[in-house]
Amino acid sequence: MILQTVTKIVFFIILTFGVELFLSGHSNPGGGFIGGLVLSSAFVLLYLVYDIETVHRGTPFDFKRVAALGVLLAVGTGLLSFVFKLPFLTQATWVVDLPVFGETELGTMTIFEAGVALTVLGVVVTIILGISEDVE
């Protein structure tokens, strides 16, 4: 019970941490790979604490698809550069003034990294789920 209660809170902390790691990756330690791993560890924690069915109800999406989406994003940003007649996977950045965040850099690299993060998340959770479902 204690673990479950703690998890309810910690889950979101880990998730936030994962996203933070992912976003800060451009300038600080972090990035897509680590972000994805942290996110997946959050889910793994959920699965460890609750049973699979409960978590499935809470997260109504297929992690295989998450991984596929990630690959699509990563390859897609590369293909995007073809539209601008640049070599494959050329990344671009824009510095934009956003109302709340102030001066922010928006880069296609973030999308690419998001692809990496989603793939890592999807694959890790798929593998762990696949094996653990087999156990039960």
Footprint of another protein (CB under 8 A): 21, 25-34, 37-38, 40-41, 44, 48, 64, 67-68, 70-71, 74-75, 78, 88-89, 91, 93, 95, 105, 107, 109, 112-113, 115-116, 119-120, 122-124, 126-128, 130-135
> Which has the closest alpha carbon to 116: 68, 74, 72?
74
Residue 122 pairs in a beta bridge with none
| 1/31 Cα distance (integer angstroms) | 34
Q: How far is the CB of 30 from another protein (least distance, A)?
A: 7
Q: How far is the CB of 82 from another protein (least distance, A)?
A: 11
Distance from CA of residue 8 to its chain's centroid?
A: 19
